[in-house]
Amino acid sequence: MIKFALIVFLAFFSTSVFVDFFENADALKSNGTYKPKFGLETANIVCGDRLCTEIDFEPRPNIIVIQVDDLDVLTLDLLIENNLMPNLKNNLIDKGTTFTNSFVTNSLCCPSRATLLTGLYSHNHGVISNYQEQGISQFNDKATISTWLKESDYITGFIGKYLNYYGVYTEPTYIPSGWDNWQALVEPSTYQVYNYTINDNGNLVTFGIKESDYQTDVLSRKNSEFIKNLSLHANEKPFFLLTSIMVPHKELVTSKCDVGSKTFNLVRGPPRYEGFGDLIDFPNLPSLNEQNIRDKPPLIKKMKILNEKNLECLEKIFHGRIESTLSIDDLIGDLIKTLKETSQLTNTVIFFTSDNGFLLGQHRIISKLVPYEESIRVPLIIKDPNYKKTTVDKLVLNNDLAPTIIEYGKAKANIKMDGVSLIDLIKNSPQTNWREGFLIEHFRGAGLGNFSIRTSSTIYTQWGDNSIEFYDLNRDPYQLNSLHFCSSEKCLSELESHS
């Protein structure tokens, strides 16, 4: 029975997902028109992928995207449950749309960020790694949400972490196309919460070790300056702001601890949150330090079981991630305050998401780039002032963010994007033809790369060494027993005991 189900699964998705996904993506797009009730502004002549009609000549919203780094859903949920993210909860979650099944299609920083900017899968935008020959040097920055919105008369601003190795594989003062205000962290200093450099519109500015130099706080002040400056000059155009926060990603130079033969850097929160990590216990889920990995691929089978010292290191890493993430909540609070002060809150759509998730000891892994839920599942909240709090459980992707942003801005992309606008889901419009599955792609060397098809209840993975995994996520949410290995009733009963 299990073998039959697997054959049907693969047959269906070999024709449906791999073909229909890329050839028929436009059929899934909404033909409707977004009708916001925002401040005074005249729309452009081009509206999305079609010519404007009279109804399109309505005001367009400001758009803000807050993208954080390596924030997994579990960590964020624990922070919210412990009332440690009040600004996120009160201003975005309680007033916006929470997508409970939001995923990235490549859970690695540079490819994921390129997808946000283009709406494309990694194999289409060409950024498949963090490194030069497969990373930023492959990226076409002349066809992105910034160029399309700028062409549609938006004022555009970028603040924070850009693509990996920006300033190393590019000139440190380089400004990509489409950005009116450019405040980008310059590598290798990006991954330091102190002693880092920012390209301030072509001028390199270095920050030191004062408490006020904490990186997230500086980025927060730059967000406010961007918005206030537009307001000061009585700007009548809408603005687009992408603010990209480095934490809770690990730092480059900081205290370290060891897990087995590997050394891991920690990340610091601002001094005001020192000790706050102790308020939340390190989560001990069934997948943590997985004992039986006989069903896993060779890469994971090589990983040793974690001892007490290793687990203590994981707890230190976790507490640093908690404390640094609290600075993101402050940034959200500052942003909301500035929007209120400039009378922009009621005509601004705000996105909150992460470039990927992160595993902290689950399946013995401390990383991402693997087809497990902790790696590919990310938070996504969109606050549109025209709609009340709601929850959406459809499968949505980081590929969908660019099409959504472009539809809000009534702009036109000059490429065919792989994603689909989420606006109809936010509006709670009936959906009869939404995606049933999607592709996950991780490009690495033989044995390390992996490609998966994820549906609402299953995930099938083939690794570079031809090993496979196949999980029923309803019966086995922690991905402990692959169905290609576990097919007896006894084994299946054990799965249900964990769900």
First to last CA, the chain: 21
* Distance between CA atoms of residues 112 and 106, nearest Å: 6
Q: Output the CATH code of domain 2-446.
A: 3.40.720.10
Lowest mean pLDDT among 32-41, 277-286, 386-395: 32-41
Tens digits of residue pLDDT in 377-391: 999 999 999 999 999
Beta bridge partners of 367: 359
Tens digits of residue pLDDT in 198-246: 999 999 999 999 999 999 999 999 999 999 999 887 678 999 999 999 9
Tens digits of residue pLDDT in 304-327: 999 999 999 999 999 999 999 999
Tens digits of residue pLDDT in 357-384: 999 999 999 999 999 999 999 999 999 9
Taking the alpha carbons of 78, 164, 149, 331 in that order, is the dihedral positive or negative?
Answer: positive
pLDDT over threshold 70, residue 21: no
Q: Of 260 and 406, which is predicted with more confidence?
A: 406
Separation in Å, CA 22 to CA 124, 362, 400, 415: 10, 33, 13, 13
Q: Of 55 and 485, which is predicted with more confidence?
A: 485
pLDDT over threshold 80, residue 44: no
At residue 12, the pLDDT reads 44
Q: Of 131 and 36, which is predicted with more confidence?
A: 131
Q: Of 495 and 171, which is predicted with more confidence?
A: 171
pLDDT over threshold 60, residue 9: no
Cβ–Cβ under 8 Å, residues 243 and 355 = no
* Distance between CA atoms of residues 82 and 280, nearest Å: 8
pLDDT over threshold 90, residue 23: no
At residue 30, the pLDDT reads 33
Spell out the domain ranges in the chain.
Answer: 2-446
Tens digits of residue pLDDT in 448-484: 799 999 999 999 999 999 999 999 999 999 999 999 8
Q: Can you give the pTM of this predicted structure?
A: 0.88
